[in-house]
Structure 1
């Protein structure tokens, strides 16, 4: 079966504090001004909803979304590792090196790593906590991932962002992932829903990117095919 791992884009949805949300307004309405069709103008911030941070987001010399290699958009099941961290399912938790080191052997050969905590439940039940007191990665964890994995190209998470307003780790964490310090980058998919995976075996995962020239990141429509 197929499942969505991206949230629906909704004007009422969460955004990083101070950042804009998607908006839209009708452009054409059936029967109005002689129009036979409906259409709308969508105003979509590129870091809203389930989206990917490409290197240029924090790296002035990094590449944009459209310059990422084609193989970054698809993963066979044996190339994916889901790291379950239920102990981190509480406000202001930080993903530390000690949380990922036990997976060092399993990480070798993986290209996509999904961090699942269950924190996504707060997205709708407690949106203020989800936005203001969310989880984050410690910069040392991002450095560890870059320096101690061989093929990881992308990480995803079931919380709002790599960064959290509750601490000052965001800049350094993003820079370690996005290639500011070493000649390697790992892109990140923020604000995913990973609950649909359940305990099913993953057959493959695809990332459908919004390809817009000149932007440092954009929405991705993530879908997984799970074994029946």
Structure 2
């Protein structure tokens, strides 16, 4: 079993004046492809630094090392939580985008002439835009030179430790910095549970939909989030001016975005592992995903005794 460490030199400038230099510093990182923002955030946290204005990294390299001195233990039981909407023929994900169309390429009846007696198959055709159902945006969606779906490393998409930011039921429509401060997001999937999915596939879904602010997006970039997801129509406010600061900032930093999630009420604030992997399509920016999470399989009375999170069925 491998663990990953980033080794680097660092210069830290403080807002109160002065600076700090480090050489050959190492921090544990969650996967083999961390961004410099993630490494910087982990470095600041490891050193418990405050009033940091800027961190500059040099000579960064990621090392894969075996876990030492840790005995093998049986994995704790976990349960699975579906976080994707079902794609059906005629589904309207967003007004103005075409609905998916299903058609047979080879029917079961026609296949009987092709295969041996008693053997039949169905091969079906689906026509749809990439922005259908629950989908993932890669940097190529926003930037022509950004990483496309085929280029995204699995470390950015699969088995990410998740942090759930819960504003559902609060009346808050904009997830801003105040909802994020104090959270450990470096190397994690940050999932915004706004409750917007309650209006899925209805005209109300896009009316004053919950979203992430530009300042919130910048905070997530600065603190090294690995992926950001939301259970609403768009991670940005859908203004008539067409401004999309969250997409612009997150995708420029190489942080994938998952929109139109559902079921986030079933996840604890921390402890879940999140996956949302699209097909490896080249020169393509957005595609539906089967988003899901695994969570510790703990009996409800254990949550009650600890005073912690309880799974619910609604947003």
TM over 0.5: yes
> What SS does structure 2 have at the residue aligned with 1:98?
helix
Q: What are the equivalent positions in structure 2 for 1:172-183 lying under 5 Å apart?
A: 172-179=245-252
> What SS does structure 1 have at the residue aligned with 2:97?
coil
Equivalent residue for 2:229, pick from 134, 156, 161:
156
1:116 matched residue in structure 2: 193
Equivalent residue for 2:209, pick from 131, 134, 139:
134
> What SS does structure 1 have at the residue aligned with 2:289?
strand
**Would you say the 8 A contact 1:139–1:169 is kept in 2?**
no
Cα distance, 1:89–1:42 mapped onto 2, change above 3 Å: farther
Report the more deviating stretch, 129-138 or 52-61.
129-138
1:3 matched residue in structure 2: 81
Equivalent residue for 2:290, pick from 191, 202, 221:
221
Give distance in 2, aligned partners of 1:200 and 1:2: 16
**Would you say the 8 A contact 2:169–2:195 is kept in 1?**
no
Equivalent residue for 2:166, pick from 65, 73, 84:
84
> What SS does structure 2 have at the residue aligned with 1:66?
helix
Question: What whole-Å deviation, never above 9, does each CA across 1:151-200 have from its counterpart, x for those lacking one?
Answer: x1101111121134345464222111111xxxx23211000113462449
**Would you say the 8 A contact 1:115–1:156 is kept in 2?**
yes
Give distance in 1, aligned partners of 2:147 and 2:176: 27
How far 1:14 sits from its partner (Å)?
A: 3.3
Give distance in 1, aligned partners of 2:216 and 2:268: 26
2:178 matched residue in structure 1: 98
How far 1:52 sits from its partner (Å)?
A: 0.7
Gaps of 5+ in 2: 1-78, 115-119, 298-315
Task: Give the TM-score of the pair, scaled to structure 1.
Answer: 0.81
Task: Give the TM-score of the pair, scaled to structure 2.
Answer: 0.61
Give distance in 2, aligned partners of 1:189 and 1:209: 10
Cα distance, 1:195–1:81 mapped onto 2, change above 3 Å: closer
**Would you say the 8 A contact 1:146–1:185 is kept in 2?**
no
Equivalent residue for 2:135, pick from 51, 74, 82:
51
Q: Does 1:145 align with 2:225?
A: no
Q: Aligned-residue CA RMSD in angstroms?
A: 2.5
2:14 matched residue in structure 1: none
Question: What whole-Å deviation, never above 9, does each CA across 1:120-174 have from its counterpart, x for those lacking one?
Answer: 11115xx101034322222222122212x13x11011111211343454642221
